[in-house]
Chain A
Amino acid sequence: MSMQALNRLVARSIIDPSVLQAFGAGRISDVLADLNFSSDIRRSLSGLQAESWSEFAVQAYRMVQAAEQPVVRIQLPSPVEGLLNEGRTDQEQVA
C-alpha cells in the first residue's frame, strides 16, 4: 500500500512542481498526508533528511521496501535433532 503511494508521489513529482516546492520548504509532510501511507511510514518519511528530491525518493523507497518485506525467520535446527538416532549407524555418526 505504502509502495503504491510512494510510486504515485514520485510519478507526480515529475509533472507537478508543488511536490518539489513542498519538499524544498520542508513541508513534505503536507503532501504525504494526502497519500495512502501507513501512519508509521508517513511519520518516518516526514523525518527523512535528503539533499535533493531524487535522494529523498530513493531513501523513501528503501524505507518502504524494508517495511513491506515480510520478516524472515531464521530456521535453526532443533537442538533435539542431533540426539535422535534416525537409523544412522554408529560408524556414520563418528565420521
Chain B
Amino acid sequence: MNPITRDERRWFLRCLAFGLYEYLGAVAPPIPVEGLLKHPPALYQDDFGVVDMYSTLWDATFARPPNRPGSVFVRIDLPPDERRLALARELLSALITSRHGRAIGLVEFLMPDLKESGEYFARHLLAPEPLLEAYRRRGGEEEGVAEAFGLPDASARLRWKESAALL
C-alpha cells in the first residue's frame, strides 16, 4: 500500500474522535474527556485511567506500568482547558497502545507522527464537527469557541480554521 498521506491520517483521526464522541452521546460541549478516561467503554477497561501528578516536566503523558492498567499521568496544577486538551491528546496514545488499537493496526499508522496526530485528535474530540456546526448556526464566532468548548485559545482558533476548511 502507498504510504498514508497527511490528509488521510487526519481523516482517520477525525473518524476515531467521532466514534468516541458518538459513544459519549454528548449533545452539547464541553465533551467530558476526563469522564471518558475514568469510565471507558468496556473494550478499554484496562487501558484508560487518570492519575494526578506533581510535575514540572510535562503537562500529561500516557504510561502503561507493568501489570497495571494504562493511565494518563497529568499535572495537577494545569488550568482546566489545558488539562482537558492534554488528557484528550494522551487519550490517543492510550487508544493506539490498547489491545483493540493494536489489533486494528493503529501503531503502524499513527505512531510515526504521534505528536501532531495527538493534537489534531484532541481538537476534534473536544470540538466535534456536529457541535461546532450547531455553534456556528446559532451565530457563534471564532472568539467564543475556546470558552464554549473548554479549549485553550490557540487550539480553539486552530480548530475553527480546520472546520472552515472542511466545509
Contacts and interface: CB of A to CB of B under 8 A. Distances in A.
Given A52-B108, A54-B12, A54-B108, A15 B41 contact: yes
B159 to A, nearest CB: 18
A55 B122 CA distance: 22
B100 A61 contact: no
Main secondary structure of the interface of B (DSSP, over half): helix
Contacts of B18: 7, 11
A68 to B, nearest CB: 13
Contacts of A52: 104-105, 108
A32 interface: no
B11 A13 contact: no
Q: Which of A12, A17, A54 has its CB near the most chain B CB atoms (within 10 A)?
A: A54
Contacts of B41: 15
Interface residues of A, number: 20
A61 B13 CA distance: 13
Contacts of B105: 51-55
Range of interface residues on chain B?
20 to 34
B54 interface: no
A26 to B, nearest CB: 16
Nearest to A53: B104
B154 interface: no
B92 to A, nearest CB: 11
The 5 closest A-B pairs by CB, nearest first: A52-B105, A11-B19, A54-B105, A10-B15, A14-B19
7 contacts: A10-B12, A10-B19, A11-B15, A11-B16, A12-B22, A13-B104, A57-B15
